[in-house]
Amino acid sequence: MQISLSRIHFPVTTLGPGKRIGIWFQGCSLRCKGCLSPDTWESKAESTSVDMLIQQIQPWFAFADGITISGGEPFEQPEALYVLLIALRQQFAGDIFIYSGYHWDEIEPQVTKMSGLIDALMSGRYQVETTQSLMLRGSDDQQLHCLTAMGSARFNVFDRNVNEEDKVLDLSMDNQGRIYLTGIPQKGDMARLREVLAQQDIQLKQIKR
C-alpha cells in the first residue's frame, strides 16, 4: 500500500502526552484559512509504501510513548491510513492520536471501520476567527474524542484550558537544513516570531500556498 507523506519526526512533545512519533500526511483539500502547514496541502506524485514507513520509524518504537498522525489530511488517504494503523497496532504498544480537519459526522463511518486502531482523535476545521483556549486545539470548535480505554486514560487530561506552561513548540531541523515548528501556536505567535527575527535580520521564508 502506497502512502503520500510530508514528513516524519521523533521526538515530538507538543502534540499529545510524552515523547511521540510524528507522521504528517501529504495532501489536504480543506485548506483552512490560517493553517500552520500549507506546505502539506498539495497532493504529490511521490509516495512511499507503508512497509517502508514502518521500517523508518521502527527504531523509535522503544523510546516513544505514542504516535501522532496529522497532515495534510489523513482521512483523504483512508485505505493507506487503515493499513498503517493495522501495522502500527501489531508492532507498537503506545497510543495513536490523529488530527483531522473533518467534522466527526463526516468521518464517523471511516472511524468506525477502524475501531480499536485509534485511541484519540481531534476533529473539526481550524477556524482562525474562533477563540483558542483549549489544549491541543488550534481553535475551540475542534473536538477531542477518546475512543479507547488507553485514549481516555492518556487524553482526558487534555480536555481543559491552556495555561502558560502549555504554550511551547518543538523546533527541529531535517537533513536538508529546513527548520520546522511543531505544536499548536497561540494566535499571533507566528507574527511575533517574524517580528523578533526581522529585528535580527532573519527572514522566514513564505511558504507557497
Q: What is the pLDDT of residues 141-180, one digit of tens each?
A: 999 999 999 999 999 999 998 887 777 777 766 777 666 6
Residue 208 confidence (pLDDT):
36
Q: List, for residues 37-48, the tens digit of each pLDDT value.
A: 888 999 987 899
| pTM attached to this predicted model | 0.87
95-153: pLDDT as tens digits: 999 999 999 999 999 999 999 999 999 999 999 888 889 999 999 999 999 999 999 99
> Quick one: cell of 133?
483556549
- Per-residue pLDDT, averaged over 199-208, amounts to 56
C-alpha 70: how far from chain center: 3
* Mean per-residue pLDDT over the chain, rounded: 89
Mean pLDDT within 182-188: 69
The x, y and z cell numbers of residue 163, run together, are 495555561
**Residue of 184, 206, 201, 74 lying closest to 139 (CA atoms):** 184
Q: How many CB atoms lie within 10 A of CB 156?
A: 12
CATH 3.30.450.40 for the 2-163 domain, yes or no = no
pLDDT of the residue at 189: 57
Q: Is the pLDDT of residue 195 over 50?
A: yes
Q: In the chain, at which residue ranges do the beta strands (DSSP E only) sit?
A: 2-3, 5-12, 20-25, 48-49, 66-70, 95-99, 120-123, 143-146, 170-173, 179-182
